[in-house]
Structure 1
Amino acid sequence: MLDERHVRLPLPPAQRRGATAGWYVLLGTAYLLGSLWLQRRVLADPAGLLIGHVTADADMFAWWLNWFPFAVTHGENPLVTDWMHWPYGLNAMWNTAVPLLGLVLSPVTAAAGSTAAVNAGLVLGPVVSGLLLVAALGPWVGGTGRGWTARAAAGALYAFSPFHLAHAIAGHLNLTWSVLPPVLLLLAHHLFARGPLRRPWLLGALTGLALAGQLVLYTQTLAVGVIMLVLTAVVLALRFPGRVRAQLPGLVRAGLACVGVFLVLGAYPLYLVLAGPSRPRSAIRNVHATGGDLANLLVPTRLTALRPVPDGTGEHLSGHIGEQGGYVGIALLALVVVAVAVVRSTTLRVVAVVGLLSWVASLGTSVVVLGEYTQVPLPWLVFAEVPLLSEIEPVRIQVVTAMCVAVVVALWIDRMPLDTPATLVGAVSLTALALLSWLPADAQEVRPAPVPAFFAAGAAPLGPSDVAEIYPRITAAWDDGAQGLRWQAASGPAFRIRGGYFIASDPDDDVVLQSRWNRYQVGAQWVADGKNDPSDAYTAAARRELADLGVTAVVFVPGYAGGDEARALAWTRRVTGDPGTPDGGVLLFRLPASAPVG
């Protein structure tokens, strides 16, 4: 007679669903509390502080999160706009416009403003990403009673990985929502791991839907996801060559469905990427300078609590801290090696191989060690001259590496040998040390995000037909250069602006990240720096130039530019011929009437 102590009796479907839902609620709550603790500094004023203090990207995200609901409710095109970088405008698909998050976070934007929406997104992104990995591991993990523990640990590792910590402190909202890799992991199970495909058209359609969603979230992650999915298929084909013939017909049908759904749903965004207005006409970055640092594999940054290297070592890594998310560490590397050697699991070994390949790809086109470029070529060099793919920043492929590490840990916890006291102690000790090695440090940052009352009250004297020049000038400078975007967004936006922080082109430049200096802004900077007053001829030329650019008003915001603001203010009066009207902490200067915008 069977001993029921050794038999896993199936629960009734309702009980199983209830238990599963309970686990997701528990894990979602735990991950959310962890994310809130890391970002607790912003809770003091979610609408007046911004998470991250490495780049100006959070200000840019605040603009775009505000733009999407505004555009939809005001009959504007949410993917093309001239409300920034007037009159040339912007192509949202060449910017980190995150329209999908604009939709998801629109209730927060409507209730508390886009600054609060950015903060909410940076808190929630890792939580959602971690929960999706927990879901994706369902088919792979659960052969023992340790299944939910394994999935919970993997979800936490992924959610609070060095990759997500790095991009949170940089304000990279798009990269903290790393939802596509777990979704593709789940789809890979159905596409590659179950023999001849059942319902290939449906699977292909779901894959196309996932890719289309990522297209309007962040295009780089889409490209990386497709590359890694194809790479996974190649690894499996090399591992199981005898199964290729049986699998191929179903995969072809799934591929056709995937491409069809993706092209239908993504037709307009794809058009904007390939042939849309204001797209860059040359490379937007140097691909050879966007790889990860080899040393980052073993050298953590200050965002990791346990740092087994001398203090300050991480400061020598290439790039800035927001792109230094490739830390794995000795303990987790040891666990991966032991898991591959001990656990008899093809899945585990394939994931480890894909993780290794993704890590090599993340290093870019040549080896860099502690900031030193060795010129040793790497495989990513193949993509350096490929259109569109050359725009990928390979360092961001670290997200795939982080997920693969988390998956290996889950499979290890689920299947690690515990049959003797010695193996139990060894396995548990190694696992605990590995998990602790990714413990986040209490090092996330916030910065003030004030909005002058003029903008917060809706900038009533200005309307959609106005084009404003804001002083201080809006730039791509990381140190508060883009705060004017946040001000304009807070006003509604009520008016268009000449400046901005973006990726675009114009008639004079193949690639621009900020509007060109005009004579007014040059003169303002000149006098603020203590130089002699510009001549009357230059002043007249500055006035004509503003008129030619369609500028109808200058909004002078004191207290933010530095230098001699009194002289910059006097220069503004000379150029506009207007003494200026104080209003809500700014001075508004009207220019002579020009042709209306519209």
Structure 2
Amino acid sequence: MTRRIPRWLVAALPVPLWLLLLYILFAPLLRDLGGPLPGGADSILYSWYFKDIQVSLWNGRNPFFTTAMNAPTGLNLMWNTAIVLPAFLMTPVTAALGAGTSVALLMIAAPLAAAAVCYRVLYRMTGNLTAGAVGGTLYGFGPFYAAQQGHVHLTLGAVFLPLILSLGYRMVASDDPSWRQLGWRLGVVVGVTMLISEEIVAIAAIVALLSLVVLALRYRDRDRDRTRVHRARIAKTAGWAAGVAFVICGPFLLYQFLGPLVIRQGFHSSLALDLLSTLRPGQSLYFATAADAAATRRFPADGVENTGYLGPVLILATVLACVVLHRAGQRALVFWLVSTGAIAFGLSLGTSVRVNGTQTYLPTPWFFLSRVPVLETVVPARFSVVTLLVVATVLAFGIAALPRSAGDRTRQRVRWVAAVLVVVGLAACWPAAGSRDRLRVATPQFFTTSAVDAIGRNSVVLALPQSQSPNGAAAVMKWQIDADLRFSIIGGYSYFSRDGQPHYEGDMPSYGALLQQIGVTGVAPTAAQTSTARQSLAAGVGDYVVVTDQVAHPSAVVDALPGIAGCAPQRVSDVYLCKIVR
């Protein structure tokens, strides 16, 4: 008598594939958790937020506002991608192993969690393990997660999108009277996601709202009494969910919009997909050719934001899945999924449609929505995560419907054709090996040893070199992290408010700009320049100047410091340290 394989073991069959894909994505990081992270300057920015929140909590300070960067003005962390909930939960790891390790662990866990959550959701929606596995694998290890691995606020936030989709499906497609329970669950998911990525919630909300409008128009002629009851149930569920979500994240949002350094207007992002982004793989995918790389460079969302690829085979498989579902009598489901996917794809094209890099000036819905306050900060290309989730859901429902839609004689043939299409389509989305855009920062020994104790705790430091570029500013932030945030820094890279307007570069006093210029050019300042710099220093910004050997002309800066900062720089470890005298 043969023993049946335990169901839990069958359900775990995708896990080895996921672990392989995870290794492909993060092999360098897995070998060195404390090493450079993918994501360039943004990865150091996440690490900085984690370290600042940990230090603030450990010292009983407000974790949502800090002057440790952009001193003395500071910044409101709620206006930044600080992913406050994970940062709070990871504080013990941050304190014990370092902020970089905390962020690295979350980066690695995000695609695995996304695949697992999507797998579970689609299995519960379809009742088919294979369907759930296919959808979960595509979502968690498809083009979006392969490209956005360095944007941990997106990859962690998108973990919850399948739950929002599932609860939204129950809200519009079910007559279950327990709207309070459904609203409570949806509110918890949305509230938690808000504390990870407000952008992901905004993306989901925009698509959901437009999808509801389309559904209302499509079924406006149905039984009016039943439709009225159904709409009332949807409204009550959504209202209850909004209330629950506000209880969870409301205090944080109130601090964001009513607290210090509010940003009244955001940046309008031009990062959008090209119409051919669905057919041209980006650099984050294994099968992208040199021709693909050249083509995608003409797209508005070149690089990590070019996340719209599906490929002709996967598109064909999705179309056939829609046919299967339609023939199986699930027309309403097909309409809902196709319309939602089309909305998300249309929004991902930005304000107007581009074809192979050519502007058509054909407006999209985002042309109008991007004018709405706060929404202008959403990056249009990132709506592709919803498109991918919808495609994964269509495929899952199509696979689950195959046995019911095909006759006895053709069933096996149809299933084999479907299997080949799905496997080939998923293979086309195979991620490229290795973590992308890892920014390596050489930290002077001064910041990693007791030598840094020469700087008074909580002092304000101008560390050189410091450029206005994200990478240059992030390097100084990395030195500050390695020094356990002992001091505050002038400048930095984040999302700063300057008279309510957003800026990515921190404030730089004129004496700091002059010293940076001297370090680049090696040209001594004029008497007038020295006098102006000295006056800016008298305003009280800065306690120390640190000149590292990474300055192009350190001796020129050292020679200029007595006249500007009134100090005689001393060699401490491998840097020059100047204690400003006013």
Taking structure 1 as the reference length, the TM-score comes to 0.87
By how many angstroms is 1:57 displaced? Answer: 0.8
Deviates most, 359-368 or 443-452: 443-452
Structure-2 change in CA distance of 1:125 and 1:570 (3 Å)? farther
Q: Does 1:253 align with 2:236?
A: yes
Residue 140 (structure 2) aligns with: 159
- Output the CA distance in 2 between the equivalents of 1:24 and 1:564: 62
Residue in structure 1 matching 2:38, options 51, 63, 66: 51
Would you say the 8 A contact 1:50–1:449 is kept in 2?
Answer: no
Residue 228 (structure 1) aligns with: 207
By how many angstroms is 1:246 displaced? Answer: 3.0
Q: Given residue 489 of structure 1, which amino acid in structure 2 is its aligned partner?
A: I
- Output the CA distance in 2 between the equivalents of 1:381 and 1:269: 30
Residue 585 (structure 1) aligns with: 574
Structure-2 change in CA distance of 1:148 and 1:40 (3 Å)? same
By how many angstroms is 1:174 displaced? Answer: 0.9
- Output the CA distance in 1 between the equivalents of 2:391 and 2:98: 37
Structure-2 change in CA distance of 1:497 and 1:310 (3 Å)? closer
Q: Given residue 565 of structure 1, which amino acid in structure 2 is its aligned partner?
A: P
Mapping of residues 235-314 of structure 1, within 5 Å: 235-238=214-217, 240=219, 241-242=222-223, 243-282=226-265, 284-287=266-269, 289-307=270-288, 310-311=291-292, 312-314=294-296
More helix by share: 2
Residue in structure 2 matching 1:389, options 352, 355, 375: 375
By how many angstroms is 1:19 displaced? Answer: 3.9
Q: Does 1:426 align with 2:408?
A: no
Alignment gaps of 5+ in structure 1: 1-10, 594-598
Residue 68 (structure 2) aligns with: 83
**1:377-399 per-position Cα deviation (integer Å, ceiling 9, x unaligned):** 11111213211122222211111
Q: Given residue 169 of structure 2, which amino acid in structure 1 is its aligned partner?
A: H
Q: Given residue 165 of structure 2, which amino acid in structure 1 is its aligned partner?
A: L
Would you say the 8 A contact 1:469–1:554 is kept in 2?
Answer: yes
- Output the CA distance in 1 between the equivalents of 2:398 and 2:86: 34
By how many angstroms is 1:248 displaced? Answer: 3.1
Q: Given residue 275 of structure 2, which amino acid in structure 1 is its aligned partner?
A: L
SS at match of 1:528: helix
- Output the CA distance in 1 between the equivalents of 2:538 and 2:10: 62
SS at match of 2:191: helix
Residue in structure 2 matching 1:490, options 471, 482, 487: 482
SS at match of 2:139: helix
By how many angstroms is 1:263 displaced? Answer: 2.3
Residue 71 (structure 1) aligns with: 56
By how many angstroms is 1:494 displaced? Answer: 0.9
By how many angstroms is 1:376 displaced? Answer: 1.6
Q: Does 1:189 align with 2:189?
A: no
- Output the CA distance in 1 between the equivalents of 2:123 and 2:139: 16
Would you say the 8 A contact 2:519–2:554 is kept in 1?
Answer: yes
Would you say the 8 A contact 1:301–1:324 is kept in 2?
Answer: yes
**1:442-488 per-position Cα deviation (integer Å, ceiling 9, x unaligned):** 2533342443333233732334441111111153x244441211221
- Output the CA distance in 1 between the equivalents of 2:115 and 2:62: 33
Alignment gaps of 5+ in structure 2: none
Would you say the 8 A contact 1:163–1:326 is kept in 2?
Answer: yes
- Output the CA distance in 1 between the equivalents of 2:387 and 2:89: 27
- Output the CA distance in 2 between the equivalents of 1:43 and 1:488: 24
By how many angstroms is 1:405 displaced? Answer: 1.2
By how many angstroms is 1:592 displaced? Answer: 1.9
- Output the CA distance in 1 between the equivalents of 2:79 and 2:346: 26
Would you say the 8 A contact 1:48–1:449 is kept in 2?
Answer: no
By how many angstroms is 1:113 displaced? Answer: 0.9
By how many angstroms is 1:183 displaced? Answer: 1.5
- Output the CA distance in 1 between the equivalents of 2:517 and 2:139: 49
Residue in structure 1 matching 2:524, options 527, 533, 547: 533
Structure-2 change in CA distance of 1:541 and 1:253 (3 Å)? same
Mapping of residues 18-29 of structure 1, within 5 Å: 19-20=7-8, 27=14
**1:392-416 per-position Cα deviation (integer Å, ceiling 9, x unaligned):** 2221111101111111122222223
Would you say the 8 A contact 2:522–2:556 is kept in 1?
Answer: no
By how many angstroms is 1:98 displaced? Answer: 0.9
Taking structure 2 as the reference length, the TM-score comes to 0.89
By how many angstroms is 1:585 displaced? Answer: 3.0
Would you say the 8 A contact 1:292–1:395 is kept in 2?
Answer: yes
Residue 390 (structure 2) aligns with: 404
By how many angstroms is 1:24 displaced? Answer: 6.5
Would you say the 8 A contact 1:105–1:117 is kept in 2?
Answer: yes
| Runs of 4+ off more than 6 Å | none
- Output the CA distance in 2 between the equivalents of 1:230 and 1:366: 21
Deviates most, 330-339 or 104-113: 104-113
Residue 208 (structure 1) aligns with: 187
Q: What RMSD in Å do the two structures reach over aligned CA positions?
A: 2.6
Would you say the 8 A contact 1:467–1:498 is kept in 2?
Answer: yes
Structure-2 change in CA distance of 1:297 and 1:572 (3 Å)? farther
Residue in structure 1 matching 2:337, options 345, 351, 359: 351
SS at match of 2:282: coil
By how many angstroms is 1:293 displaced? Answer: 1.8
By how many angstroms is 1:349 displaced? Answer: 4.3
Matched residues, percent identical?
27
By how many angstroms is 1:218 displaced? Answer: 1.4
Would you say the 8 A contact 2:462–2:545 is kept in 1?
Answer: yes
Would you say the 8 A contact 1:469–1:555 is kept in 2?
Answer: yes
Residue 173 (structure 1) aligns with: 152
Structure-2 change in CA distance of 1:72 and 1:125 (3 Å)? same
Q: Does 1:378 align with 2:358?
A: no
Structure-2 change in CA distance of 1:265 and 1:534 (3 Å)? same
Residue 415 (structure 1) aligns with: 401
- Output the CA distance in 2 between the equivalents of 1:24 and 1:47: 33
Deviates most, 425-434 or 238-247: 238-247
Would you say the 8 A contact 1:180–1:221 is kept in 2?
Answer: no
SS at match of 1:179: helix
By how many angstroms is 1:584 displaced? Answer: 4.2
Residue in structure 1 matching 2:96, options 93, 98, 111: 111
Number of aligned residue pairs:
562
